[in-house]
Structure 1
Amino acid sequence: MTAPDMTRSTAQNAQLALMLEVSGTPKPGNVDREREYDDLKFEQFLAGAVGAFDGLSLAADGEPVGRAFERAVAGMSQQQGGNTQFGALLLTTPLVAAAGEGALTRDNAEAVVTDTTVEDAVNFYRAFEHVDVAVNDPPEGMEALDVRRGSDAAPAIRERGLTLGELMEESAVNDGIAAEWSDGFSRTFEAATGLQESDGAVSNRASALFLALLASEVDTFVVTQHDTETALEVRDRAQDVLAGDENPYELAQELVEREINPGTTADIVAGALFIALERGLSV
């Protein structure tokens, strides 16, 4: 008998990456298979990954990145937890688009960003109509471009002629995912290499990567949700975990109880998992 074809599509790899990311444990402050919040459950992340599939498929098939992202977020939102993977989808969608066009490389991913349009930016704003996303207030005088306005901001976006890539560049100083867009996804690709070179169950590799990333840089989502001081504390305590001076499971439980959620770090893990899967990481 001929062995069945076990090759996954690019969109399926992206969906699997979202599932593997949430399955890793411990991930201090984040939902995983052992910890969840009262209003945000492990099962809702799985449902979000399933719902995002159609939008991810659009990206893989060459549809505009903004439309694909908005459709992925719309599908992701069809569960009771609300925003489960907005940031992960924002990071992963252009990578899926790059993979759909050929080899998944930094050059190809950068080309996807460069080729984004004003309508991609408009669809990015529309995605905020599907879920609540924690964001900073816009600078004074830029209220017309507040992402929380959703489609109402479309005239201001079109008037200024801002592409999605340009919007990400403007946000890169304060947002880790926007910084990835603006820097050729350097941190995500480096993390993917680490996943490929490590051993063990993939979900365990993902949780180890999460801790390493958390220890290396301040998580910008923690800054947005809380403040810089809290984000620095989380980074330093992750370094203590790596040094063997703190228990990762105890830290994970404490951060959940304090509702400190290093979401940007989790998003980069999801993106890295997708790249690694596209490169042949076996699951």
Structure 2
Amino acid sequence: MSNSSFLSQNSKLKTQDLSPGQAATLACLLEVTAPKVGNVHRGADFEKLTFTDFVASAVAIGPAMEHAATTGVGRAVLSAIQATRQLVSTNTNLGMVLLIAPLAAVPRGESLQVGIANVLNSLTADDSALVYEAIRLAQPGGMGEAKEMDIAAAAPPSLLAAMKAAEERDLVARQYSTNFAIVLSEILPNLLAGQQKGWSLTDNIIREHVRLISVYSDSLIARKCGSETATQASAYAAQVLAAGDIDDENYHAALSDFDFWLRADGQQRNPGTTADLIAAALFAGLRDGLLSPPYR
């Protein structure tokens, strides 16, 4: 039986049948599998961070995300990071977990656009304490110190207030303060538009990843390398997009050059925050059955 015949006969298989845990794991797997510029993927490891680390981490977080709607955001985040650290020795997924947990906590009967605001506005002091514990356990790189809501200090009563204090320097925090506007109202619609054009999900993810860098730079690059380097990365990403469409040879040549530049400084210019946003949008699309198989 051909693949096309198999798919046509199994067209009743819908992605909305995925549970929250399955959607979280699949989203993380799809994100890391796509050969995005400057990131770990199936064809490129870092010296101390590998594709296999991310695969194991994707599996680890599934149970915590499965029960996020009942345990709450803070407990889901901490449980996911604890499970991850049982399998890998470095931070692979803190940003993804911080983004996916609130989305996974939205009850299945509610839309994400409406439900995410309810989840964020219901965060408690316990959520804040648990999230701060998870961040310390994950030990993310380039955190530095902040004048307000420093992660090295005691957890504040309001996690939402802490995220709002950090929104100008961190795109993950900005999602909490804007009801996930970039993820739900920008990235996901762009991925769906690419799907309608017939783009493969891989090409779709790669292009959207570059577009995000061009518009927002990348929080991780800024923290590790400084704002000047982050701005330079944005300008480089804009040049890639201007080089041509997704099937243009000039675009792919520019993409390769950009990838080389991002990896050239000991992988310090790793646009990891942008990748986390992609994973969150993939979760949203899978959760609501908007991103359809096959995922090629």
> Which TM bucket (shorter chain)?
0.7 to 0.9
Q: What residue is the counterpart of 2:179 in the other structure?
A: 184
Q: What residue is the counterpart of 2:262 in the other structure?
A: 255
Q: What residue is the counterpart of 1:128 in the other structure?
A: 135
Tell me the distance in 2 between the aligned counterparts of 1:126 and 1:85: 15
Q: What residue is the counterpart of 1:67 in the other structure?
A: 75
Gaps spanning 5+ residues in structure 2: where? 1-8, 244-249
Matches within 5 A, 1:226-241: 226-241=225-240
Q: What residue is the counterpart of 1:82 in the other structure?
A: 90
Tell me the distance in 1 between the aligned counterparts of 2:45 and 2:111: 33
Of 41, 44, 52 in structure 2, the residue corresponding to residue 35 of structure 1 is 44
Tell me the distance in 1 between the aligned counterparts of 2:199 and 2:86: 33
Structure 2 residue matching 1:40: 3-state secondary structure: coil
Tell me the distance in 2 between the aligned counterparts of 1:181 and 1:146: 17
Q: Are 2:129 and 1:119 aligned? A: no
Tell me the distance in 1 between the aligned counterparts of 2:231 and 2:45: 23
Q: What residue is the counterpart of 1:50 in the other structure?
A: 59
Alpha carbons of structure 1 residues 237 and 276: separation in structure 2 relative to 1, 3 Å:
same
Q: Are 2:265 and 1:266 aligned? A: no
TM-score by length of 1: 0.88
Cα deviation 1:26-61 (Å, max 9, x = unaligned) = x222111222211010111010111111211121x4
Q: Are 2:184 and 1:195 aligned? A: no
Tell me the distance in 2 between the aligned counterparts of 1:34 and 1:241: 21
Contact persistence 1:66–1:164 (CA under 8 A):
no
Q: What residue is the counterpart of 2:215 in the other structure?
A: 216
Tell me the distance in 2 between the aligned counterparts of 1:257 and 1:51: 31
Q: What residue is the counterpart of 2:164 in the other structure?
A: 169
Deviation (angstroms), 1:68: 0.7
Structure 2 residue matching 1:166: 3-state secondary structure: helix
Alpha carbons of structure 1 residues 5 and 67: separation in structure 2 relative to 1, 3 Å:
same
Contact persistence 1:107–1:184 (CA under 8 A):
no
Cα deviation 1:163-185 (Å, max 9, x = unaligned) = 22221112112111111110011
TM-score by length of 2: 0.84
Q: What residue is the counterpart of 2:6 in the other structure?
A: none
Matches within 5 A, 1:132-143: 132-134=139-141, 135-139=143-147
Deviation (angstroms), 1:77: 2.2
Deviation (angstroms), 1:21: 0.6
Deviation (angstroms), 1:252: 1.1
Tell me the distance in 2 between the aligned counterparts of 1:182 and 1:31: 28
Residue identity in the other structure for 1:67: R
Q: What residue is the counterpart of 2:247 in the other structure?
A: none
Q: Are 2:110 and 1:110 aligned? A: no
Deviation (angstroms), 1:14: 1.3
Deviation (angstroms), 1:81: 4.8
Tell me the distance in 2 between the aligned counterparts of 1:45 and 1:207: 17
Residue identity in the other structure for 1:119: D
Contact persistence 2:218–2:273 (CA under 8 A):
yes
Tell me the distance in 2 between the aligned counterparts of 1:279 and 1:197: 16
Tell me the distance in 1 between the aligned counterparts of 2:189 and 2:84: 27
Cα deviation 1:165-207 (Å, max 9, x = unaligned) = 2211121121111111100111101211111121333232111
Contact persistence 1:41–1:81 (CA under 8 A):
no
Structure 2 residue matching 1:136: 3-state secondary structure: coil
Contact persistence 2:136–2:151 (CA under 8 A):
no
RMSD across aligned positions (CA) = 2.0
Contact persistence 1:172–1:179 (CA under 8 A):
yes
Of 286, 290, 293 in structure 2, the residue corresponding to residue 277 of structure 1 is 286
Alpha carbons of structure 1 residues 66 and 88: separation in structure 2 relative to 1, 3 Å:
same
Tell me the distance in 1 between the aligned counterparts of 2:203 and 2:89: 25
State the identity %. 29
Deviation (angstroms), 1:5: 6.2
Deviation (angstroms), 1:20: 0.5
Contact persistence 2:38–2:260 (CA under 8 A):
yes
Tell me the distance in 1 between the aligned counterparts of 2:136 and 2:223: 20
